[in-house]
Amino acid sequence: MIVKIKEPATKTDVEIDAQPEDYNGEQGWRILFPSKDSFVMVEKNGRWNVMDDSDINPDLLDAIGNALHPVARYNHLSGSEGV
Query: 43-83, pLDDT tens digit by residue?
Result: 888 888 899 866 888 898 899 988 887 665 454 444 444 43
Q: DSSP letter at 54?
A: S
**Alpha carbons 72 and 55: distance in angstroms, whole number:** 23
Q: Is the pTM value of this prediction over 0.85?
A: no
Q: What is the pLDDT of residue 80?
A: 44
The pLDDT score that the predictor gives to residue 77 is 47
DSSP, collapsed to helix, strand or coil, labels residue 72 as helix
State how far the Cα of 6 lies from the Cα of 20, in Å rounded to an integer. Answer: 21
